[in-house]
Amino acid sequence: MITNLFSIFDPSTSIFNLSLNWLRTFLGLIVFPIRFWLLPNRLYLFYYKIIIKLYEEFKTLLGINKNLGRRIIFISIFIFILYNNFLGLYPYIFTRSRHLIFSLSLAFPLWLTFILFGWINHTNNIFTHIVPQGTPPILIPFIVCIETVRNIIRPGTLAVRLAANIIAGHLLLTLLGNTGNHLNNLIINVLLITQILLLILESAVSIIQAYVFSILSTLYSREIH
């Protein structure tokens, strides 16, 4: 059982000494059984429209006639983060996306790949982004320092942005849920409505944060060309 507020961040949290955190792996079999359907269903059509919309969005950002592989990578990242965010809204299912070890494991390899690929294949372009054209000579050392720091902290900002937004909503839901035992029936009804509204808001945050993470990663990758 959850004994305190911060035990929701413990991956080994269980109920009746039975760990339920790994059940989300099998929930994916229910959410995405597309290949087992004989005819396209509503879930398949909805999922297909999301993929096509994301593909068009990334095609606009990365270019029309190139970067097909990167579009697929960023779409996969979006679906992966969205999948984890939504399953974390289910009771007794551990949300990996609210931990920095999860978000950093996604952001840091992407950032490192972009940096290494850019320095090896597009060195002049990297220098162009570090020192913008028309910069006064006296400001070049300061601009170089600022741009270098900005590039270094990118994986951290990506990771913290994702984890902090997921943590904030779950903490608020937990705080409100733990106060229900000490309230009368009228306040409990108000609390229940508030919890439902917060759950809807968290569903929107799950989509938005997955989209923001993938879009920012896409924009960072554009700078290597």
Q: What is the tens place of the pLDDT at every residue in 128-156?
A: 777 777 777 787 788 888 888 888 888 88
Number of domains in the chain: 1
pLDDT digits (tens, 9 = 90+) for 50-74: 888 888 888 877 766 666 777 888 8
Model-level pTM greater than 0.85?
Answer: no
Who wins on pLDDT, 73 or 180?
73
165 within 8 A of 205, measured Cβ to Cβ = yes
The answer to whether 193 and 150 have CB atoms below 8 angstroms apart is no
pLDDT value at 32 more than 70: no
Dump pLDDT digits (tens) for 60-109: 777 666 667 778 888 888 888 888 888 778 776 667 788 888 888 888 98
Q: What is the CA radius of gyration of the chain?
A: 22
Domain span holding position 61: 5-222
pLDDT tens-place string over residues 5-27 = 555 555 555 555 555 555 555 66
Per DSSP, what are the bridge partners of residue 15?
18
Q: List residues bridging with 18 in a β-sheet.
A: 15
Amino acid letter, residue 169:
G
| CB-CB neighbours of 12 under 10 Å | 8
End-to-end Cα, the chain, rounded Å: 51
